[in-house]
Amino acid sequence: MALSVVIMAAGKGTRMRSARPKVLHALGGRPLLGHVVATAEALAPQRCIVVTGHGAEAVEAAFAGAQRAFVRQMPQLGTGHAVQQAVPALPDDGITLVLNGDVPLIREATLRALVEACAGSKLALLTVDLAEPFGYGRIVRTAEPGGAKGHAGGAVQAIVEEKDATPLQRQISEVYTGILAAPTALLKQWLARLTNQNAQGEYYLTDVVAHAVADGVEVCTASAKDETEVLGVNSPLQLADLERRLQRRHADALMEAGVRLADPARFDLRGTLACGMDVEIDVGCVFEGAVTIGDGARIGPHCVIRDAQIAAGAVIHPFTHIEGAAVGAGSLIGPFARLRPGARLGEEVHIGNFVEVKNSTLANGAKANHLAYLGDATVGERVNYGAGSITANYDGANKHRTTIGADVHVGSNCVLVAPVTIGAGATIGGGSTITKTVEPGSLAIGRARQVAFANWERPKKRPK
Ligand code: UD1
Ligand code: CA
């Protein structure tokens, strides 16, 4: 049966106290709405309609996509009013699944079960039992003889919002998650009948339940696997809480796959991380974008690694930044190293403290162990690049390449002024400024000659 998805994302998010629309706040490095849209699209619906309002332009710009349509809700008169705006864009047959743009961790399997429960004829509500149900809409059921909680157990009669609930109803622990599935034709009829006669003067989507009951349409419920997947984000506090829960999910999945995390509570993944066997990750690391780590590699504490491939056996020492780079097998990087986009390191390469590498290829066994810069360089095998040496790759207008052949030894404090080529096996004396080609096997020295003045007398302090 054809499936349509409506995602409500028009609300103001007052409690975020932010100029940014709530659904654009990031969770796990991705906007809240991005999580919901991705899960919705995994269901391969016929259409996906996002209801925007507050900050509509920014939200629409962030999520423009081929299979998505946006409808505007201006002003925002409640969740029922939000879905009403999508009605013209919905076909008359099939099932409509309504999602909350601020409930980001909902699982695809849970949504499939909900749509299945709807079966094209019932109103299906996703509910969850919460120890602290405050603030949520409560599921009111007919009392069943022998029903343990009085209100629980029987057929669903209505959803009552916190602000409209009686003290007895507020004790109900079964709450509405903000997610439902309904036959589209019936949903349209119920939406047309909503009023705003309630404590908040809003058009509540939740009132469709009472209309379904009045029409004799069965209301069924499906429940979420755990509460994390149905928690909403309304405040920075809740956002941070959900972030930790999401990170714990990531950490658990990695540890189940054999990755050894020093502390799952001090681990952050804002993208994807694929690890081989016997990978160890120390505390405080942040992984962004797409990162892969090979067998036996170790990541020291407090590294930030984004869009990178770290090959087997590599060791990344503490406080290293890696972005858009590839680290070869058995290489040693850091501490305090910075690999920038386009850094391509072969096997057993050593990059030490305060060394920056950008858009450069280093062949197997090359070493730059201290305080150096390699930008736009091609570095041969076993090159030893001394402390304080840099490639002067930028003339103020254009970037130029430096080519360093195999087995070159660059002394300390050298400036290689690009474009320049150093032939294989050459040696560059310390403190040299190299502006011309250096022939293979030669020694090049480009610095002022040392002069000496014998018996030199230092200036003396004038008497007072
Ligand atoms: C809603 C439910 C409540 C449920 C809770 C679960 C209603 C009336 N109440 O309450 O039963 O327990 O979710 O989290 O539906 N939105 C719009 N336009 C509007 C108002 C809201 O698009 O005019 C969007 C918001 O951006 C948000 C979602 O709808 O994504 C939910 O709105 P919110 O105001 O947070 O509803 P709750 O009070 O949490
Ligand atoms: Ca909410």
- Cα–Cα nearest to 59, from 34, 93, 78: 34
- Cα–Cα nearest to 336, from 357, 360, 311: 357
| pLDDT tens digit sequence for 299-313 | 999 999 999 999 999
Specify the ligand 1 atom closest to the Cα of 204. 8
Whole-prediction pTM value?
A: 0.91
CB-ligand 1 contact for 206 (6 Å cutoff)? yes
Tokens representing 406 are: 């195999």
CA atoms of 308 and 287, how far apart (whole Å): 9
DSSP H or E segment with residue 126: strand 123-129
CB-ligand 1 contact for 207 (6 Å cutoff)? no
Specify the ligand 1 atom closest to the Cα of 175. 12
Ligand 2 mean position, distance from CA 232 (Å): 5
CB-ligand 1 contact for 51 (6 Å cutoff)? yes
> Minimum-distance ligand to the CA of 238?
2
Nearest CA to ligand 1 atom 25: 11
Q: Which of 25, 317, 370, 409 is catalytic?
A: 370
- Cα–Cα nearest to 338, from 349, 353, 360, 359: 353
- Answer whether 359's CB lies under 8 Å from 341's CB: yes
Tokens representing 128 are: 């969850």
CB-ligand 1 contact for 133 (6 Å cutoff)? no
CA atoms of 184 and 316, how far apart (whole Å): 55
The backbone torsions φ and ψ at residue 347, rounded to the nearest 5 degrees and listed phi first, read -80, 150
- Answer whether 86's CB lies under 8 Å from 100's CB: no
Determine how many CB atoms are found less than 10 A away from the CB of residue 292: 16
Specify the ligand 1 atom closest to the Cα of 76. 23
CA atoms of 449 and 357, how far apart (whole Å): 31
Q: Angle 344-345-351 (CA atoms, 0-180°, nearest 5)?
A: 125
**Cis bond leading into 75, ω under 30°?**
yes
Nearest CA to ligand 1 atom 34: 11
25 is catalytic: no
CB-ligand 1 contact for 208 (6 Å cutoff)? no
By DSSP bridging, strand 30-31 and strand 26-27 are: antiparallel
Print pLDDT tens along the chain (464 aa): 899 999 999 998 899 999 999 999 999 999 999 999 999 999 999 999 999 999 999 999 999 987 789 999 999 999 999 999 999 999 999 999 999 999 999 999 999 999 999 999 999 999 999 999 999 999 999 986 544 444 457 999 999 999 999 999 999 999 999 999 999 999 999 999 999 999 999 999 999 999 999 999 999 999 998 899 999 999 999 999 999 999 999 999 999 999 999 999 999 999 999 999 999 999 999 999 999 999 999 999 999 999 999 999 999 999 999 999 999 999 999 999 999 999 999 999 999 999 999 999 999 999 999 999 999 999 999 999 999 999 999 999 999 999 999 999 999 999 999 999 999 999 999 999 999 999 999 999 999 999 999 999 999 999 98
- Answer whether 125's CB lies under 8 Å from 138's CB: no
Ligand 2 mean position, distance from CA 71 (Å): 20
Task: Write the DSSP symbol of residue 376.
Answer: S
CB-ligand 1 contact for 78 (6 Å cutoff)? yes
CA atoms of 169 and 158, how far apart (whole Å): 11
Mutate to test the pocket of ligand 1, among 49, 54, 100 (most ligand atoms within 8 A of CB): 100
- Answer whether 336's CB lies under 8 Å from 319's CB: yes
| pLDDT tens digit sequence for 104-158 | 999 999 999 999 999 999 999 999 999 999 999 999 999 865 444 444 579 999 9
> Minimum-distance ligand to the CA of 81?
1
